[in-house]
Chains A and B, each alone.
Chain A
């Protein structure tokens, strides 16, 4: 392969392989289309759960709920992750894309599969929700669509490893791969675990839908969640890899300890997938030992990994800023950060909401005993919207603001809107997830069309506060959906009708170009001196070289402890003794 297929990025100096670039673009574009479909579904859903509006009929509510889940959790996220895998295995290590035709074939499989699933769901032939639990039966084409999509994704994941092997052989990089690529390795391995479980359950279910075999409902749930939850753990690994990348691009973040960060990714590979058992905590078929071992992510090793990243990412950002000269007090590095750079603001909101809301609630409600007061209530979607949407989708949006100029070589359109989009989206999602969590605390069920239970032979009354909370859920959801629509408009306008970028002028602000590219974060000329000073023992109340992060992490741990023990207290109200 000659180097004629490569171009050198004027901003980063990285070599970009043409065929890889095209595959990145195609996957990113389809991902945004899926996001648009999912966001339209989100608006319809929140306007139905808002009791005062109650927009959709029951059949359409459940139909759109399935469409929303598949479009967002599978198609939007996984197409974007395919783009991340191509990017991390070629651009980041100056390598070439092997077998690009196979890449296009797998892309075709994924698109055909996704279209089949969407058509089956929109036409009412697959009203089986995201989980498609047996014995709910969909049209066989629905299952076939999922299988085609999964096969395509599995091929891309295999090509990711092929890229790395060829890059090593061709000496495209020396030593270990960069940390961002290592994070993508973790995502790819988790993807293979996920897709193997998907094949193990969807192929028999496809045959069952044709009447050719039986599928046990309990075994379906066990294996399906090896796909359903693990697919969201691919997100976590990919999201953290993007955190490291955005930190470096926006504020010159440093990796404070390569070994620790890589160890945390390895802990994800080994232990995070078994969190799938969270969904089976009230299933009578599984024993308590299996439940506790699995839902503890094998004794909390994967939680430890997230807490490591939750410290090293902001600490690396703080250290990077301090090495640029922002050394005053605890938080000058944060005050003087580029808050108008949508890549940076997306990164910060992603880290904070993922950790404080998604992480804390996830570990707490995944505890076997506490789960009994949470299971199938709105607290569950309150949790996973904080992780997948506020965390992963927000990080992917932030990355897109850099992909548009770096890969599509276009200016980001509607630049003024792009600067406020992360704030609107993050605030909307924060309101949405918090109010959903509170509504769930009152026992409001998830996946439920009418909580007034009208015409039911029994009566259930919720606290009057629930109506208010569901109204706030809708308002937060509509705000976040507006942020998502703005993002889609920016992405579509930039990619298809955007102004070509041309040369980036360093040191001059450019409309439609993030600050990290026009003003690359460069460490001070006296960086060694600053570094030595930061590491002096006894400095900053003995909080080390990143004291601001230590304080923030302390606040996080305090919130974690309080939330965890409040839940145990609430659990004690369930069984009144004496």
Chain B
């Protein structure tokens, strides 16, 4: 039987969600990748692909 923290008993398989959440390094990689792709890399691409402004 699961305990109060949701940990399964000795004979029960650990649910997939709990295994994912317990994998800190997977979470770390996911956090870095999402931020790097959506904020940083996409932002850099926006800046470097700006056409030069024409002088008035």
- Report if A and B associate in a common complex: yes
Name A's B-contacting residues (CB within 8 A): 161, 164, 174-179, 182, 185, 189-190, 192-193, 196-197, 216, 218-219, 222-223, 226, 230, 255, 258-259, 262-263, 266, 269-271, 273-274, 276-277, 280, 285-287, 290, 293-294, 298
A161-B24, A185-B27 are contacts. A176–B7 as well, Cβ < 8 Å?
Answer: yes
Is there contact, CB below 8 Å, between B42 and A258?
A: no
Complex Cα spacing A293 to B46, Å: 13
A222-B40, A285-B47 are contacts. A258–B6 as well, Cβ < 8 Å?
Answer: yes
Is there contact, CB below 8 Å, between B27 and A189?
A: yes
Q: In the complex, which residues of chain B have a beta carbon less than 8 angstroms from the beta carbon of A287? A: 46
Q: Name B28's closest neighbour in chain A (CB-CB).
A: A189
Which of A262, A269, A293 sits near B38, CB closer than 8 Å? A293
Name B's A-contacting residues (CB within 8 A): 3, 5-8, 17-18, 21-22, 24-25, 27-28, 30-32, 34-35, 38-40, 42-44, 46-47, 50
Q: How far is the CB of B6 from chain A (nearest CB, A)?
A: 4
A174-B7, A176-B6, A176-B22 are contacts. A270–B50 as well, Cβ < 8 Å?
Answer: no
Q: How far is the CB of A266 from chain B (nearest CB, A)?
A: 6
Interface core residue of B5, B17, B21, B35 (most chain A CB under 10 Å)? B35
Q: In the complex, which residues of chain B have a beta carbon less than 8 angstroms from the beta carbon of A286? A: 43, 46-47
Q: Which 8 residue pairs across A and B have the least CB separation, nearest first?
A: A175-B7, A269-B31, A274-B39, A258-B6, A273-B35, A222-B43, A189-B31, A189-B28
Is there contact, CB below 8 Å, between B34 and A290?
A: no
Q: Name A179's closest neighbour in chain B (CB-CB).
A: B5
Is there contact, CB below 8 Å, between A285 and B39?
A: no
Is there contact, CB below 8 Å, between B21 and A262?
A: yes
Is there contact, CB below 8 Å, between B43 and A175?
A: no
Q: How far is the CB of B10 from chain A (nearest CB, A)?
A: 10
A270-B34, A290-B43 are contacts. A176–B5 as well, Cβ < 8 Å?
Answer: yes
Q: In the complex, which residues of chain B have a beta carbon less than 8 angstroms from the beta carbon of A193? A: 31-32, 35
Number of A-B contacts (CB under 8 A): 91
6 residue pairs A–B, Cβ–Cβ below 8 Å: A176-B18, A178-B5, A192-B31, A266-B27, A298-B34, A298-B38
Q: Name B6's closest neighbour in chain A (CB-CB).
A: A258
Q: In the complex, which residues of chain A have a beta carbon less than 8 angstroms from the beta carbon of B30? A: 269-270
Q: Name A271's closest neighbour in chain B (CB-CB).
A: B34
Complex Cα spacing A285 to B50, Å: 7
Q: Name A186's closest neighbour in chain B (CB-CB).
A: B27
Q: How far is the CB of A389 from chain B (nearest CB, A)?
A: 25
Complex Cα spacing A222 to B25, Å: 26
Complex Cα spacing A470 to B8, Å: 57
Is there contact, CB below 8 Å, between A290 and B42?
A: yes
Q: Name A254's closest neighbour in chain B (CB-CB).
A: B4
Complex Cα spacing A274 to B8, Å: 35
Complex Cα spacing A271 to B27, Å: 12
Complex Cα spacing A218 to B53, Å: 14
Q: In the complex, which residues of chain B have a beta carbon less than 8 angstroms from the beta carbon of A298? A: 34, 38
Q: In the complex, which residues of chain A have a beta carbon less than 8 angstroms from the beta carbon of B44? A: 219, 222
Complex Cα spacing A273 to B40, Å: 11
Q: Name A178's closest neighbour in chain B (CB-CB).
A: B5
A269-B30, A270-B30 are contacts. A218–B39 as well, Cβ < 8 Å?
Answer: no
Complex Cα spacing A222 to B36, Å: 12
Q: In the complex, which residues of chain B have a beta carbon less than 8 angstroms from the beta carbon of A174? A: 7
Q: In the complex, which residues of chain B have a beta carbon less than 8 angstroms from the beta carbon of A176? A: 5-7, 18, 21-22
Which of A175, A177, A222 sits near B47, CB closer than 8 Å? A222
Q: In the complex, which residues of chain B have a beta carbon less than 8 angstroms from the beta carbon of A270? A: 30-31, 34
Q: In the complex, which residues of chain B have a beta carbon less than 8 angstroms from the beta carbon of A190? A: 31
Is there contact, CB below 8 Å, between A226 and B21?
A: no
Q: In the complex, which residues of chain B have a beta carbon less than 8 angstroms from the beta carbon of A177? A: 22
Interface core residue of A164, A179, A298 (most chain B CB under 10 Å)? A298
Which of B5, B24, B35, B50 sits near A175, CB closer than 8 Å? B5
Is there contact, CB below 8 Å, between A274 and B32?
A: no
